[in-house]
Amino acid sequence: MKRIALSLAALAVTSAMATTITLYQDTQTGALYTKPGPNRVKLGEFVSKDEVVKTTSDLKKEMAKELKGTVVSAKVPKLKINGVHYLGYTYTNYDDTNKADKSRFETRRNYFQVKAYWNDKDYARVTMDTHQNSSGDWAFRLKYAYLYLSDILPYTGVEFGQVHRPWIDYAEHHGWLYRSISETFVETGNAAHVINSAGPGVNFKTKTDYFTSEIGLFNNGGYHAKKSGSGQSFEWRLTYNALGNGTKHVHATSDEWLNISFYGRMLTGTDNGTNKDTMTGIHAVYNNPMFLIGGHWMRDDNDGGVHDGKGWSVNGEFRPVPKWSILARYDHWKVTPASGIDYTKKNLIAGVAYTYNKNVKFIANVIDYSDDKPHVDNDKTDYMLTAEVHW
């Protein structure tokens, strides 16, 4: 619309600024005249070439002034820019009467992302996120920064830099679709709490209709931790896409999928004195436009680390009418550290979501957490309101 307006303005400016001349042609000799006379026919009004060149030059200058501040320049033909925000309010009620309840507004996530494409498939990506540090200040933190090259092997591309780790990103797009209110089972502190979603490394991503995978080598602590030692984390996800949509970017309210995954990690070398760090899990999920149901079992062994244990999780979503969803999840994690006493974490999530439009979703939910850790009362209930924004 803006381009049309500029074109019309250009036409008006050209007409106003240019000097016109009326020409006549003798019907017998073909000679041209600037005045009427016998046997002369009017040809119309014309603008001299020099006048047109001058007017066009002036017009370009005027248009450049109008566009100043809106032009984006890059060394690639295409830039893709987008953002994601998880905005909310949470009231926390602690069972322990010695702990004061909390009431707070939150900006849980604020992602700003740019992808620079030099062809249809290959690109460089940077994703920034906000993070509140211990002093209360908000910092801009690097989440992803990598080069992606497609088809370096049959059906396989590679991320190199600060990249996706194989499991969590897949789980957030196929199994647990509500990262705005809680991390996945393997990441949340209310359950396994053994891995995060990104880290410096290399990730090979394969996609076919019936099989997808991610296999890579990463700094063991991910993007949250400082690297030390010679250890690297070998991590993988192998997925059977039973309905044959592995090459497609699926949408929960319009697509159907049935996926079974095997995922895990294994430490190579040593890291912070640890020479063993293994995680293995099995996951299955079925989705159609009416509902989703998924769940998995997982265990972690880090030489007796504080998060060692095993457990399971199940979650579902029911979409009874357009735009509305009912969601629930239950996590069960048995902690088995080398020192200390074994205990069990139980995490229950229930809520309702309303899709306002393609950019905004509202969620109201409750998270009830409990554990049986001796001599400590960590039980609590969170009451949450969330606006999930994508642009």
DSSP assignment, residue 17?
A: H
Q: What residues contact 217, with CB distance under 8 A and at least 6 apart? A: 201, 202, 232, 233, 234, 235, 268
Which of 67, 93, 110 is the C-terminal boundary of a domain?
A: 67
Residue 258 and residue 294 in contact, taking contact as beta carbons nearer than 8 Å: no
Whether 73 is in a domain gets the answer no
What is the structure's pLDDT at 50? 65
Cβ-count burial 44-81 (b if 16+ within 10 Å, e if not): eeeeeeebeeebeeebeeeeeeeeeeeeeeeeeeeeee
Element of type H or E holding 331: strand 324-335
Q: Is 124 exposed, middle or buried (0-12, 13-18, 19+ CB in 10 A)?
A: middle
Question: Which residue segment(s) compose the domain that 134 sits in?
Answer: 80-390
Clarify whether residues 50 and 120 are in a common domain.
no
- Tell whether 72 is covered by a domain: no
Task: Give pLDDT tens digits for 35-68.
Answer: 888 888 888 887 666 665 566 666 666 666 655 6
* pLDDT tens per residue, range 253-267: 999 999 999 999 998
* Mean pLDDT calculated for residue range 161-175: 98
Distance separating alpha carbons of residues 150 and 1, to the nearest angstrom = 36
Q: pLDDT of 206-239, one tens digit each?
A: 999 999 999 999 998 888 888 878 889 999 999 9
Give me the pLDDT at residue 6, please.
47
The pTM of this model reads: 0.81
36 and 136 both lie in a single domain: no
175 and 249, same domain (yes or no)? yes
Number of C-alpha atoms within 13 angstroms, CB side, residue 72? 9
The verdict on 145 and 45 lying in the same domain is: no
- The pLDDT assigned to 351 comes to 98
Model pLDDT for residues 233-248, shown as the tens digit of each residue: 999 999 999 999 999 9
354 and 282 both lie in a single domain: yes
